[in-house]
A and B are shown apart, each in its own frame.
Chain A
Amino acid sequence: DTGVSQNPRHKITKRGQNVTFRCDPISEHNRLYWYRQTLGQGPEFLTYFQNEAQLEKSRLLSDRFSAERPKGSFSTLEIQRTEQGDSAMYLCASSQFSSYNEQFFGPGTRLTVL
């Protein structure tokens, strides 16, 4: 399968714990995006990378959130000291710089904070 993959698919954690999600983009794609989607809403932009550089972060991304993309390949999104309000689907998407409009989404990681 050459699409965008995300792991884990589901994560249940207790409030206050740290969680980390992984995204593996399509191999030749140099742009990688993270979105958050809550029930009944469209995806909301969190941050994006071009290669290994994090070029933009949304104001939605509090200091408890951090994302990395070492070597411009896979990316991780970490949430520290999780809160119940962090419960959502976290989506990753990737695109090629030459056709940056067309983003391909992964299946998402559903986070439930108890």
Chain B
Amino acid sequence: QQQVKQSPQSLIVQKGGISIINCAYENTAFDYFPWYQQFPGKGPALLIAIRPDVSEKKEGRFTISFNKSAKQFSLHIMDSQPGDSATYFCAAFKGNFNKFYFGSGTKLNVKP
């Protein structure tokens, strides 16, 4: 059973536009939800993360929106730039599980 489902698989956005990536999770025991950014040939790098006691977290152009009742969370990239072109992964974590469950990834292409 896939613990974290991510969509869309790929996304094309014009420079300056808003990129939105969605994730849904199954296990209500998860208590930490990060987003990772991965460039080709590199390992994933932590972008922003949220805990379920808040509904939104913003860091610069990146915002996570969290809906606990729907078991969904999303990443919004405002004023998207060509340098944001990368693959983005959502993940879910619970301390007792001691591991992350990753989504399948979204390849974002920001057109200049």
Query: Could you tell me the distance between the alpha carbons of A27 and B3 in the complex, rounded to whole angstroms?
Result: 31
B104 touches A42 (CB 8 A): yes
With A100-B95, A105-B45: A43-B102 Cβ-Cβ less than 8 Å: yes
Q: Which residues of B contact A102 (CB under 8 A)?
A: 34, 46, 49
**Total interface residues on B, using CB and 8 Å?**
25
Chain A residues, CB < 8 A from B91: 42
Contact B41 A43 (CB under 8 A): no
Instruction: Tell me if B104 and A43 are in contact (CB < 8 A).
Output: no
Taking a contact as CB atoms under 8 Å apart, the answer to whether A101 and B49 are in contact is yes
Per the 8 Å Cβ criterion, residues 28-80 of A in contact with B are: 33, 40-45, 48, 55-56, 58
CB of A103 within 8 A of chain B? yes
B100 & A103 in contact (Cβ 8 Å cutoff): yes
Q: Is A105 a contact partner of B44 (Cβ separation < 8 A)?
A: yes
| Contact status B99-A107, CB under 8 Å | no
Bitwise, B70-112 to A at CB < 8 A (1) or not (0) is 0000000000000000000101010100111111110000000
A25 interface residue, CB < 8 Å from B? no
Closest residue to B45 on the A side, CB-wise? Answer: A105
Chain A residue total in the interface (Cβ 8 A): 23
Indicate if B42 sits at the interface (CB-CB under 8 A).
Answer: yes
Chain B residues near A104 (CB, 8 Å)? 46
Which residues in B have their C-beta under 8 angstroms from that of A93?
A: 43
A42 to chain B, nearest CB (A): 3
B:13-50 near A, CB below 8 Å: 32, 34, 36, 41-46, 49
Given contacts A40-B104, A101-B93, contact A45 B99 (CB under 8 A): yes
5 cross-chain CB contacts under 8 A: A42-B89, A45-B101, A48-B98, A100-B98, A108-B42
Interface residues of B (CB under 8 A from A): 4, 6, 9, 32, 34, 36, 41-46, 49, 89, 91, 93, 95, 98-105
A45-B99, A91-B43 known, 14 other contacts, Cβ within 8 Å: A42-B4, A42-B6, A42-B89, A42-B105, A43-B100, A43-B102, A45-B100, A48-B99, A101-B32, A102-B49, A103-B46, A104-B46, A105-B43, A107-B43
